[in-house]
Amino acid sequence: MIKEKPNNKLIGRTAGDAVFDSVNTFILLLLCVVTLYPMYFVTCASFTKNTYLLTHQGSLFWPVGFNVGAYRLAFTHPLLLSGYKNILIVLAVSLPINIVLTLFCGYFLACKNVLLKKPILFIIMFTMFFSGGMIPAYLNIRDLGLYNTLWALILPGAVSVYNSIICRTAIEAVPDSLSESAYIDGANDLVIVFRIILPLIMPTIAVLLLYYGVGHWNAWFNASIYLKDNDKLPIQNILRAVLIANSNTLNSAATENDQVNEFAESIKYAAIVLTTVPVLCIYPFLQKYFVKGVMIGAVKG
């Protein structure tokens, strides 16, 4: 997406250029190291012997006493397992709802010649700028009977207006003639959305899946206020309890298991790796598409 600048060498590289380029490259490399190092550190720590982590001060540059015990334990740990199970349920139910509603909303926003479009557009857009806020949302969840159910994580974010705008822009790029000829063949809008529009905007759908998916995967606040039972919490909340609130949830849940103490420190790092790596493996493949998405979002607000 970035056009190549004509190579300075062709016109004659001065000594100043050489200095400039090396300083620039050096700073960027430094930034890359600072960006990558925390995750590298966590990965090393997850493979490091627990006893070493407990007495060690500061940083790690490679795993010490390499072993995978922490991972073996993480995969059998009841709270971590229920955390993964809950977030997978949320994803499996949410993502189809998110995509279908965003598609419908984007399609409507892209429509022309609809009499009530303006008032409906206003109803939709208004929610981008004004909301009831934290407490009314919480009371609403309780009133609707969703408190302490996984629906409280699925329904409140069912469709994002911002993502619908991205979807609209993609739909607007589809030539009108396609849907017009389908109309003549007797297709209704529902058929047009799924049979004509959807296959043509697949790259955008992939990006929307990434946005919604990462959003659900990384969310923790709603779960912390809408859920009460520990075994309903998604993985991020389990991580938070263990790592930040520094509670012993992870250990006390399986005190009978002596192994836990042996890995109490390194299992935390293993949990971080297991939670973060899936997302980090996906986004590079969608990079060129979400770059487009960011630009649309910025231009259309």
Size of the site for another protein (CB under 8 A): 97
In the complex, the smallest distance separating the C-beta of residue 263 from another protein, rounded to whole angstroms, is 16
**Binding residue for another protein, selected from 124, 174, 198, 254, defined by CB under 8 A:** 124
**Binding residue for another protein, selected from 113, 118, 185, 256, defined by CB under 8 A:** 113
x-or-dash string of contact with another protein, 207-226, rule CB under 8 A: -------x--xx-xx---x-
In the complex, the smallest distance separating the C-beta of residue 58 from another protein, rounded to whole angstroms, is 4
In the complex, the smallest distance separating the C-beta of residue 85 from another protein, rounded to whole angstroms, is 18
Give 174 or 220: the residue with its C-beta nearer to another protein: 220
**Binding residue for another protein, selected from 88, 92, 202, 279, defined by CB under 8 A:** 279
**Binding residue for another protein, selected from 139, 173, 178, 202, defined by CB under 8 A:** 139
**CB under 8 A: which stretch of 68-76, 196-204, 251-259, 268-276 binds another protein?**
268-276
In the complex, the smallest distance separating the C-beta of residue 250 from another protein, rounded to whole angstroms, is 13
**Binding residue for another protein, selected from 64, 89, 93, 111, defined by CB under 8 A:** 111
Residue 59 in the binding site for another protein (CB under 8 A): yes
Closest Cα partner for 281 from 289, 270, 273? 273
